[in-house]
Amino acid sequence: MKVEVQNLSLQEREPQIHELVRSEGMRVGITSSIDGGQLITLLIDPTSGRAYLFDTPLEAANYPCLTRRIPACHWQERILWNMFGLVPDGHPRLKKVLLHESYDADFFPLLSERYLSRTPLQEHQGQYQFLEVKGEGVYEIPVGPIHAGIIEPGHFRFSCFGELILNLEIRLGYVHRGIEKKLTQVDWRKGRFVAEAAASDSAAAYALAYSECIESMFSIELPYRAKLLRTLALEIERIGMHLADLAGIAGDIGFIGVASSFQRIRGLTFSMAELLSGQRFLRAFICPGGVVREPTKLTLNQISSCAENLSNQCKVLLEMLLESQGVDDRLRGIGRVNLSLASDFGLVGIAGRASGLKYDVRQFRSEYETFTPAFHKLGDVLARVAVRAEEIKMSIEIIRSVLARLEIPGSSYQPLPDRLPSNSVGLSIVEAHRGELIHLAFTDEQGCISRYCIKDPSVNNWTALAMAVRNNLVADFPLCNKSFSLAYSGHDL
């Protein structure tokens, strides 16, 4: 996606962005920096899909925070503080997110050395201070960072009153690997492998976002067939992950028959992925310029019959899950996030759509022809299950239509020049299975990537989990958690 950089002074930044968010209904996609000498703000219009990029030069390491009036920015401004040492003045809860207390106070991984002298050291609070809920009978349950079952690390601190959760504070950053910095260090042709590994359950979405980000710097239009094949990969990944999430939810409520059947038919999406890309997790398939592998007519037919098989089995299973009285009883009204909270905190993907935000990046993309996002109003676990079920059906339809359009032969790769254009900006927005994934890259005079910024959907949605579990029972937390299906590695990067 092509985007123009507009200048915005520091004094005007906060009022103007707030005005755009309030009156134009825009959402803040990214607020970050390139090397610590400026602030960049990416605004997205969720009704047209257009993006606006603002550059604000900084004189000092402090700036007025956006969080006060745009709560959706609160997490990204915390990350910005961690990574660049830029202090958002007036931020209500400035705490470490990615770099824990054991890091050096003057360690700002993405900050240019030029600005190091003006940056205040991050004061050591000794131990991380969790928000404490006071009162008689209030107790805390610490869960994690190591969990039962094979999942990633993250710490949850519950403040409970009896069985009721009063507050949940989530602490992440245990799998911070420095992906964004690494992407500025490797050659741009190899960066896709790093991007794919950033959040491996969204490998296709990450590879797609990376490739489109690079392509947008070259301003090259890809062959239609390449776009279709990428769409196919993305939708296969989406179905697979949605099925896995539904299996997880069914398993959590003890509906084991349906849970294991979902797991079984998830295998079909792996088969489809293998047929398409030669790799069951769709890795190393999408590359800048197109795709690395042109499927034969026979393979496409096999994928098509797999999709029909999947469609038939999904129909039965989704009905069993959604029509069951017990499931309805168990999921209804649990973990509610209402529309105003969802839009204030800029929720994306299933979490946003289940609360009534009709924002899906796919509706602005040409490969999808006509696309209407699935959404729900209730915003509870049941709504998120229903939206997932609907999206599985939609994705199967999309796969059918893409396969039909793929019958016309053509090229699926467009060679790219060797060097990236200097002083350019690359942007891509992809609807990963968790929601809006943004990649934003800047190059320097030599045409090397000087900053690669990734906004994973989980960055927005972890807060939703903390809001959803309030005043719910402790025993309902795993269900809420599963219904949001959040990534630790995608967030920590």
Partner 1 sequence: MISLVISWLNFFLAILLLPPLILSLIRKTKARLQNRVGPSWFQPIYDWSKLCRKDETLSSTLTWIFRGSAALNFILVLLLALFLPWISFKPSFTGDDIFLAIYVLALARFFSLLASLDSGSAFGGFAASREATLSLLVEPAFMLALVALGINARSSSLSAIFSYSTDANNQVVCFLAGTGILLSSLVELSRMPIDDPTTHLELTMVHEAMILEASGRNLLLVEVSYALKMTVLLGLSAQCFIHALQANIVCPKLLLVILSYLGILGLAALVGLIEGLTVKLHWRKDPEFIAYALTMSLLACFISIGQGATFK
Q: Which is nearer to partner 1, 169 or 476 (CB)?
A: 476
CA distances from residue 440 to 31, 51, 126 in whole angstroms, order as listed: 11, 11, 34
Residue 26 CB: number of other CB atoms within 10 A? 21
Q: Which is nearer to partner 1, 263 or 338 (CB)?
A: 263
CA distances from residue 45 to 14, 24, 339, 353 in whole angstroms, order as listed: 18, 8, 18, 16
- Cα angle 27-156-322, degrees, rounded to a multiple of 5: 70
CB of 475 to partner 1, least distance (A): 5
Q: Which is nearer to partner 1, 128 or 139 (CB)?
A: 139
Token pair 């958690």: residue: 481
Contacting residue, 80, 160, 234, 429, with partner 1 by CB under 8 A: 160
> Which residues from 28-87 bind partner 1, rule CB under 8 A?
none
Q: Which is nearer to partner 1, 254 or 409 (CB)?
A: 254
**DSSP of 36-69:** SSEEEEEEE-TTT--EEEEEEE-SSSEEE-STTT
Q: Which is nearer to partner 1, 253 or 347 (CB)?
A: 253
CB of 77 to partner 1, least distance (A): 30
Lay out the site mask for partner 1 across 101-140 (x = CB under 8 A, - = otherwise): --------------------------------------xx
Applying CB under 8 A, the span of 11-19, 116-124, 207-215, 472-480 interacting with partner 1 comes to 472-480
Contact 63, 86 (CB under 8 A): yes
Report the b/e string of 226-249 with b at 16+ CB within 10 A. Answer: bbbbbbbbbbbbbbbbbbbbbbbb
- Assess 175 for contact with partner 1 (CB under 8 A): no
Contacting residue, 54, 255, 375, 452, with partner 1 by CB under 8 A: 255
- Cα angle 101-60-98, degrees, rounded to a multiple of 5: 25
> Which residues from 310-349 bind partner 1, rule CB under 8 A?
324, 326-327, 329-330, 334
Distance CA 147, CA 94 (A): 26
Applying CB under 8 A, the span of 175-183, 210-218, 270-278, 475-483 interacting with partner 1 comes to 475-483
Applying CB under 8 A, the span of 25-33, 249-257, 282-290, 392-400 interacting with partner 1 comes to 249-257
Which tokens sit at 112?
């240019």
Applying CB under 8 A, the span of 44-52, 99-107, 229-237, 250-258 interacting with partner 1 comes to 250-258
Contact 207, 287 (CB under 8 A): yes
Binding residues for partner 1, how many (CB under 8 A)? 32
> Which residues from 139-158 bind partner 1, rule CB under 8 A?
139-143, 148-149
Which burial class, exposed, middle or buried, applies to 483 when counting CB atoms under 10 A from its CB (0-12, 13-18, 19+)?
A: buried
Token pair 């989406």: residue: 238
Residue 140 CB: number of other CB atoms within 10 A? 13
Applying CB under 8 A, the span of 2-10, 58-66, 238-246, 247-255 interacting with partner 1 comes to 247-255
Contact 352, 342 (CB under 8 A): yes
Q: Which is nearer to partner 1, 105 or 141 (CB)?
A: 141
CB of 355 to partner 1, least distance (A): 21
Residues in contact with partner 1 by CB under 8 A are 139-143, 148-149, 160, 162-163, 252-257, 259-261, 264, 324, 326-327, 329-330, 334, 473-478
